[in-house]
Structure 1
Amino acid sequence: MSLTDTFVRQVKHQGAEIGERYADGGGLYLRVKAAGKYWRMDYRFAGKPKVLSFGVYPAVSLAKARKRRDQAKELLADSKDPGEVKREAETAQEAASANTFRLVAMEWHAMRAKRGEAATTTGKRLAHLETHVLPEIGSRAIADLKPSEVLAMLNKVVDGGSAYTATRLREICGQIFRYAIATDRADRNPAGDLRGALEVPRVKHRPALTTRREFGEFLRNLLTYENCQPMTRLAARLAVLTWTRPVELRTARWEHFDLEAREWRVPAANMKEGKHLQAHTVPLSAQALSVLAELRALNGERVQWLFPGNHGADSIMSENTLNLLFKRMGYEGKQSHHGLRASARSLLSERGWSAAALETQLDHAERSKVVAAYARSEHLVERRKIMDDWGELVAAMESGDNVAPLRPAA
C-alpha cells in the first residue's frame, strides 16, 4: 500500500533501535528514527543489493522522493548504478563549491599582492571587488558563470553612475577568469565576450594649463599660497619638477632615490596598474634635488615615505591632497595633479624636444618588455637634458622671468 502525505507528516518513531520502515513501492520506503524521517530505496546492481538515500523529510517531500526513485529506475534500465551516478554528481558539486568566483578571485588577488603591487592599488581593487562583484557572483562556481551573469553585475555598476568603474571591473574579472583557466578551474573567460557590451565611459578630463604665461602664474601662486602645509607644497613642487603619475609620487620611498646618480627609480609595482613592465627612471634636475633636500630635512630621517600620511606609520599622502590644494588656490577645472604631465609635455614640446623622448619620460612606453627597455635606454641621455631644461624653465617661471632660458643642445 502506497504512502500518503498525511501519513508521512504524522507518523512518529515507535522506539525501534534501527527505526521503523514504511514502504511506498518500487523499492522506495520511509525510515522513521528518533532523529528524523529518511527516504531510502533498495535496489540491486550487478547482482549486489544496494541502498540509495534520497534525503530527509520534510525537505524532501513524498512527491520529490518518488520522482528521485523513478529517475533511479531509469538509470538502472540503462545499466547505470544510480548510487555511483549520485556520488559522481556530489563530487562534481563539491569541486564546484571549492572553486567559487570568490575563492579564485581572492587567490588571484593575493598572488598579485605578493608580486609587489603597491598597497594602494591592491586595496582599491579589493574594495571594488567586495563592493560590486563578490556580492553578485562571488558564490557562483567560476566554471559555471555565463557572460550574461557578468554583464548583469557590471550593468548594475553602470546604472549606479560609474561606467568607468564597470569597464575597469570587466578587465579585472577577465584577469581572474584567465587565472582560473590557467589553474584548470574554468574553461573560458566570459568577461572576454563582453567587449562592446558596456556603455563606453566618457574620457575623464584632467585640467592642465599649457601656456607659459598661465602655468608660470600658477607656479608663482603655489610658492606664495599661505593656506598650505610645508610638506604639501613640497609634494606639489616635486610633482611639477618630475611629472610622474600621482600614484608614483604618493608611493615614493627614500630607497627609490639615488641622489648621487641624480635618479629616481620608480619600481614597476608603483607604476600605473596594468603596465608593470620594469622600473622607470626619472632623471632629477638641480631644482628637484633641492626639493628632496628640504623634504629630507623635514621628515626624511624618521619615515620611509617621502610623503607620509596622518593615519599611522605606514600610511601615505591622500590621492586627493594636491587636487584639493589646487582647488583652494582657485584652479579647479584649470589645473589638476595628473594634468601637470600634460602641462610639462606641452611646454617642453614647444622648446623642440623630441616627441619620442618626451613620451618615454611620461612612461607612455611600448607594451613589449624588449622594446620598452630599449626605448628607456636609448632616450636616457636626452631625457636627462630634458629634465634639466624643465627645472631651469620652472625656476624662471617661478621668478617671473619673461625670458625663457635657452634649452641645452641635444
Structure 2
Amino acid sequence: MASSNRAVVFQNVKDMRVETLDFPKLEMPNGRSAPHGVILKIVATNICGSDLHIYRGSFPVPQGMVMGHEMTGEVVEIGSDVEFLSEGDLVSVPFNVACGRCRNCRARHTEVCETVNPDVSCGAYGFNLGDFQGGQAEYLFVPYADFQLLRFPDKDQAMEKIRDLALLSDILPTAFHGLMEAGAKPGSTVYIAGAGPVGRCGAAAARLLGASCIIVGDYHQDRLDLMKNNGCETIDLNQDVPLTDQIEAILGEPMVDCAVHYVGNEAHGIGREADDMNPAHAINQVIDATRAGGATGIVGVYGPDPLASSKAEQEGTFSIDFGKAWIKSPRISGGQAPIMHYNRELMMSILWDRMPYLSDMLNTKVISLDEASDAYAAFDTGVSEKFIIDPHGMIPA
C-alpha cells in the first residue's frame, strides 16, 4: 500500500500544482470515522469545464484543496461496514457526495443530499461543497461506498472502454439530465448551448434518445467542426445575428422543442456582445429559442461570481426575462444532475455499443498527472480536447 498521494492542488487563480500529500484515511472531513467508505486507486480522473470556474476564480475554493470531481478507480481499501464491494473492483464515482439515507437521497435526489454538507444541501468532491477533497490524484477516499459507487460488471471489458466510461462520473449523466429536464424524446428538435465537453456529451445523448435535428452553438470553430463532423447542425455565435434567426435558417422556424444551456455563469453574449460575460443574456437566449409549451434545461453552473460585471451577478442574481417568457407556458429547470439517476443505464449503453460515436464527439486526450497544470491552461483557451488524467499509467494507448 502506498504511503503518500500525489494530487493536483489549487494554490491560486490559474495556479494548479501537483503536490505530495498524505495517503487518504477512512474518515469524513470533520474527522469522524467512516467505516462505510473505501479508498480508490484512481484509474481515470478528468478535467471538467466546472473546474475552469475554480481555475479562473469564478467559484472560490480554499487554498490547498485537491481538485477534481470526475473519477473512476479501483477499490484498494474497504471499511468494515462495506458489504457489496471487494478489493479490485473497478468503479465510477458520482461527483455528488450523497449519504443514501436522508429524505432527498431516498427520493433519488442525490444532488441535494441533506447530510454531507453542514452549510447547504449539496455535497461534491473538489468543489468546496462539504470539504471533500477532489480526485485529480493517485488515491481518493469515498464515503457511503455501497450506496454511491457504480461497479463495472467486467473489469477487462470496462478497461477496453475506459475513455467512454470515465465520462459517467459527471458530464455524460449531466448532459443526459439536461435533456430529460428539457423533455427531449425521439424526433425532438434540440438546441445545445455550448460545445464544450458537456455540450458534446449532450449532442451524443440526444442521438441516443433519437432526437431529429441537433443544433449546437459555440464560439470556437474547432469545436463546431467536431460537431458538424458528427452529424450535428452548428451555429457560430460570433455572428452578429439573433439566435432565433440562425435556428430558423436551419429548421424553417425560429424555435426548437427543447433547449439546454450547458455553459454556466461564464457564458457570453452573441456577436458584438461575445467579448463580455453575459450569463443572463445566455439564459434568456435559450428560453427565447424554446417553443411555446416546450422546456429549457439549465445545467451549467450558476451562482455568485466575483468576476461578474454587475454587483447583482456577483451575488448570484440574474435578470431573467420571465415576463416575456411567461406567455409561452415555459418549463425551466436548473441545478446539478443527480448522477446516480442515470449512470447505470448510460453505462449499459456504452458497454453494449449503443454510443459508438461518443469518443469521436468528446475527442478525449489522456495525460499524466504531471501534465495537468498545462492541460488546465490549454483547456482555458477553448481547445476541443477532453482531458483525462491517468495517474498510474493504466489506460491503454
Normalised-by-shorter TM-score class = under 0.3
Name the structure where helix makes up a greater proportion of residues. 1
Name the structure where strand makes up a greater proportion of residues. 2
**Greater RCO (CA < 8 Å, at least 6 residues apart):** 2
Max Rg structure: 1
TM-score (norm 1): 0.22
TM-score (norm 2): 0.23
